[in-house]
Every structure is written in C-alpha cells, then in structure tokens.
Amino acid sequence: MKNVIEALSHWELLEIEKPARYLGGEVNQATAKESPALRTCLVFPDLYELGMSNLALKIFYETLNQRPDIVAERAFSPWPDFESLLRRRGLPLYGLESGMPLKDFDVIFVTLPYEMTFTNVLNILDLAGLPLSWKDRIDGPLVIAGGPSASNPLPVAKFMDAILIGDGEEAIIEICDSLIAAKKAGANRSETRRALTKVEGLWVPEFPGPVKRRVFKLFSQSQPPLKPVVPNVQAIHNRAPLEIFRGCMKGCRFCNAGFFYRPKRERSVEDLVKYAGDLLQNTGEESLGLLSLSTSDYNNLEDLIHSLDKAKLYPEQSVSIPSMRMNDNTIALLDATPHIRKGGLTFAPEAGTQRLRNVINKNVTEEDIISVMKATGGSDYRTVKLYFMMGLPFETDEDIYGIVDLVKRLEAIGKTTKPRKQISISLSGFVPKPFTPFQWSEQASMAELKRKRQIVCRGLENGSSRVSWREEFLCLLESVLSRGDERIGDLIESAFRNGCKFDGWHEFFSKEKWEKAFTETGVKAEDYLRERPVDAQLPWDFIDFQVPRTYLENEYRLAAKAAGEQP
C-alpha cells in the first residue's frame, strides 16, 4: 500500500475527532523528492497537538529535509478513535506527508520527551505492523530513539536499534549518512547497527559499550528552524518558537535537564531578532515564544525584548516567556517592558523554605520571590503559576508547611496589584533522576507524598490560589522508568499488552493495569525507589554524561551538609 490516507473515506474521517490531525498537507510541509537515498520518519509518541509544539521535531524536520537526498516525514500517536478505525480497517500507521506506511521507511526516529510516552511508542510500532523488540525485526526500518527521557537508555533498550544520548542536530545527519552508506553497501541489519556505534552519543543495544553524551558545540552559531510546519489543528503552544539559548549552569541538584543540556550556549541578540522576523513571516503567527530552560537567564534579555519590540512586524505582536527565574533579571524585565503584551508568568520556587532551597541548590531567596511578585504589579501579566515539589531529599514537614505560608504571602501581594493576579499552584512528587546529585536518593512513598499533599491542600483551602497536583502513583512509576535497568523493558511491554497507552493523560492512565504488569513481570518497584550508597554501582554508569561523577558525589554531600546530615 503506497498511500494509507487515500484508503480512508471521507465518511470514515467525519466520524472521528479532528480528522485534520491525520491528513497532512499543512503550510510549510516538505515537498516530495524523487528517489531519495534515505526515507526517514520523525515520530512523536503523543497527540498531534503536542508533537507539533515540540521543538526537537521542528529542528530535525528542517535539518533533514534541507538535504536533497533525504526525506523526513512525521507521525504521531493517533487518538483512540482514529486508532480504532485503523485497526478495524487493517490499515497501518503512516507518515503524514506521503501516507506511506511506517514499515516502508528506512529509519524511524522516535523522540522520548517524557517517560509516560513509553507505552505509546510500543503502540505505534504495533500499529505500524512492526515487532516490538529489535531482536525480532528482521526487516523494515531501524528504530532509533533520543530525547531527555533517553538519558538512561536501559528501560527502552529492548525496543530500540539504537539510542542517542544528548544533542541531536549533528548526530542525526551522521546517523543518516551511516545508514545511506550501509544501504549502498548492502549491509545486513547487524552490520548496519555496528556501523552506527561509531556515531558519538549513539548507544546500540546489540553492541553495548561505553558511550559519551553528545554536545552540539556550534549551537550559538546555528540557525534555528525558520519555516516550521503550521499545524492544521491548533497546537498546545500556539506561537512561533525561538530557542534563545541552550543549557543551564545554575546547578540545581534535582534537575536532570540542567545537566542533560550543559553547557550553556547563547545565540546573539542580532541573530535572534533576524530569526524572529523570518519565523513570524513564514508562519503567520503573532506570538513569539522565547524558549530555554529559564529564559530570564539569557544574558541580554532586556536588550533582546526591546530589540524585538522595535522590530515588530505586526501591531499586536506579542512575546511569550514560558519560564523565568525569580531574580533581579526578571524584575528588570517587568519594569522595562510593561507595554509588551504577554501571557502568564511561570516560576518554580520548588521548595517552601529557604533551608530546603539551599539543600537543593535552588539559587533563589524568599526575598527574591517576594520582590518578583511585587514587581508584577505594574505589568500586564494576570496569572502567576508556581511549581513546588514534595518528597525532596532531607525534607521535613516544616518545609511542607512553608509552601502554605509562602503562597499565602504571595496571595496577599497579588490582591494589591492592578490588575489582580490569579495564582495557580502545581504540586508534584520529586523523582530522583539519573545524572543528578540526587540520583542516589530515595523516592518518597505514595503514602508519604499523599500526606504531604494533603497538608498543602488543607492549608490553602480557604485561599484564592488554584491547586493542582500529580498523582502519587505516576511519580512512583516515573522513578521506576527513569532509574530502571533492562528488566524494565519487560514491564513496559506487559503494561502495553494490558492496554496501557497515553499514560500522561488522566482519562487514560490506569494504575490497575500497571500494577498488573508489575505482578506479571515480577518487577518490584522498591528495588528502584530505594536509597543507594554514594559509592554504589549504578545501572547507567556506562554513560559518560560529561559531568564528572565526583562532582555529583560532592554536590550530594554538600546537600546533606546544608541539611545538617550525612549521606
């Protein structure tokens, strides 16, 4: 079958929600190429609207399609109604650009943005008619994964021909060149995979060995995607995305992303202003999203905002700053640019007391937090969202009650500003991630997380803040999936066989099905949740993350010292 889309009738498509998710044909979609040397498909294992907001997908799509000998298409997890239609008709999942079945591509590149997409990956492979395990795939495309949740590749090693650790801009081209060479040479699958081991950052389960995290050192001089595909259906982040810098050197001891994206690399103000104009012209968007781990850490942010304002293409052009740090840079930005229309403010104090913020190395004081909240009074920002974690290492109940006290103080300030600020609180259980100073820490139990969450909710029940939280079992599961070894692959497959998918969606997540998978596989969650000695061998120690283990050990000991304890 050459084109699955053509096999679907209009009447069938009218019976599903948002059929435009599955038809392709968007503005800026890549054009077809005659007899390319390599056909690739970029897979995002979640809904179209989320995938079309993913920056990595935009980068790789534009990077690959600029090559005259490579075609890159896209595929996303179908919503259950469309999946049911495909299965009922016996039709495979396909690339949006050509309608070609996934099994007919040369390689499938899978982005792993968060652990709750792992079962969706298996569902996509199954819908494509491909065996789940790399050992069972004797033909069809190679399946290569990457992304932040691939930092520790062992939990998904069963399913992947190769897994990239780190930045992918240069690596994906090297991978494609290796595959083209292998294809021309008539290499078999094992020979092809062996050749891939030569790509720095790429770990191949068939030939396991040490691997070094890949770093894109030329980021500052690189051009971001300037002509991204404009989605048929409004994406979750409806704005033109512009990555202003990559990396972070703040050293928060809980943050996997802070270590995954090191070192910090900035694009210049001059380049960013030019890129912004091109982006807005090519997409028709009026909102520009300045992306990074913490945008207020950009060295010349105030200059950048003023320069973007002067170079406006549209009167209503706005700037979105998704995440900012509570520091003097943010206050300067709020004071300097009250006339620029913006969305809500998002901050992450993470902990309720200064003692615990010192323990986790969150370099923000309570005075900073209060000052920033007061500084929002003269701005157009109407909403303030705050993220807090519970179950952090060396945490006490006093730290949990500190969240309540801090939020009440901020509520009082928000009531005095014009316009008044609506505060939203998001609570989540802390997950000790690999390659952080807290990778040896214990994961708090579900009962403990629930108890702490109830303290916060009861303390704020008469306040004006909106409080949301992440289910405790999801925090436990994320810890198992991120800190696991090869045995976790069987757990993921069992969960998928039991019907798990869209685990990041409340309406689909099933604790009972995952518990059944734990029982069926004999995997014990406590084996992965326990505290580990600092000198213990860790499953992921074969990876050189380019952050010395001695540094992580020292940071863990400094955290214990700040808490007055010994690790």
Residue 144 is encoded by which pair of tokens? 């290569």
User: How high is the pLDDT of residue 417?
Assistant: 77
**Cα-based angle 321, 382, 315 (whole degrees, multiple of 5):** 60
Q: Please state whether beta strands 543-544 and 383-390 pair in parallel, antiparallel, or not at all (unpaired).
A: unpaired
**pLDDT > 70: what percent of the chain?**
95
Identify the weakest region by mean pLDDT among 6-15, 157-166, 547-556: 6-15
Find out whether 111 and 149 touch, Cβ atoms under 8 Å: no
Is pLDDT at 25 greater than 90 in this prediction? yes
Residue 499 is encoded by which pair of tokens? 């019907």
User: How high is the pLDDT of residue 339?
Assistant: 45
Per-residue model confidence as pLDDT tens digits over 339-368: 454 556 788 899 999 999 999 999 888 888
- DSSP secondary structure string for all residues of 403-456: HHHHHHHHHHHHHHSSSPPEEEEEEEE----TTSTTTTSPPPPHHHHHHHHHHH
At 145, which helix (H) or strand (E)? Answer: strand 142-146
Per-residue model confidence as pLDDT tens digits over 280-337: 999 998 888 899 998 888 998 888 988 988 888 877 787 877 777 776 667 666 655 5
Query: Distance between CA 323 and CA 412 in Å, rounded?
Result: 23
Is pLDDT at 525 greater than 60 in this prediction? yes
Q: What is the mean pLDDT of residues 479-490?
A: 98
The amino acid at 434: P
Residues sharing a CB contact under 8 Å with residue 315, sequence separation 6 or more, in sequence order: none
CA distance to 199, 223, 250, 341, 409, per residue, from 421 (Å): 50, 37, 28, 15, 13
Residues sharing a CB contact under 8 Å with residue 548, sequence separation 6 or more, in sequence order: none
Find out whether 539 and 156 touch, Cβ atoms under 8 Å: no
Q: What is the mean pLDDT of residues 437-464?
A: 96
Q: Indicate the domain borders of the chain.
A: 5-212
Neighbours of 344 (CB within 10 A): 15
Per-residue model confidence as pLDDT tens digits over 219-255: 999 999 999 999 998 888 788 999 999 999 889 999 9
**Exposure on the CB side of residue 321, measured as CA atoms within 13 A:** 27
The amino acid at 562: A
Residue 212 is encoded by which pair of tokens? 């070094």
**Exposure on the CB side of residue 561, measured as CA atoms within 13 A:** 7
Chain-centroid distance of CA 199 in Å reads 23
Neighbours of 362 (CB within 10 A): 24
**Cα-based angle 20, 25, 27 (whole degrees, multiple of 5):** 105
User: How high is the pLDDT of residue 317?
Assistant: 80
Cα Rg of the chain, angstroms: 24
Q: What is the mean pLDDT of residues 518-542?
A: 96
Architecture of domain 5-212: 3-Layer(aba) Sandwich (3.40)
Annotate 488-498 with b (16+ C-beta within 10 A) or e (fewer).
bbebbbbbbbb
Find out whether 83 and 119 touch, Cβ atoms under 8 Å: no
User: How high is the pLDDT of residue 335?
Assistant: 57
User: How high is the pLDDT of residue 377?
Assistant: 72
The amino acid at 171: A
Find out whether 203 and 61 touch, Cβ atoms under 8 Å: no
Find out whether 433 and 379 touch, Cβ atoms under 8 Å: no
Query: Distance between CA 259 and CA 261 in Å, rounded?
Result: 6
Is pLDDT at 387 greater than 90 in this prediction? yes
Q: Which of 71, 143, 69, 147 has its CA nearest to residue 103? A: 143
pTM: 0.95
At 480, which helix (H) or strand (E)? Answer: helix 472-483
Residue 179 is encoded by which pair of tokens? 């595959």
Burial of 307: CB neighbours in 10 Å, binned 0-12, 13-18, 19+: middle
Q: What is the mean pLDDT of residues 62-83?
A: 98
Is pLDDT at 87 greater than 70 in this prediction? yes
H helix runs in 117-244, sequence order: 118-127, 169-185, 189-196
Helices (H) and strands (E) counted in the chain, each on its own, are: 20, 17
Query: Distance between CA 419 and CA 297 in Å, rounded?
Result: 26
Query: Distance between CA 313 and CA 278 in Å, rounded?
Result: 10
CA distance to 46, 312, 478, per residue, from 230 (Å): 18, 21, 32
User: How high is the pLDDT of residue 101?
Assistant: 98
User: How high is the pLDDT of residue 567?
Assistant: 59
Per-residue model confidence as pLDDT tens digits over 89-115: 999 999 999 999 999 999 999 999 999
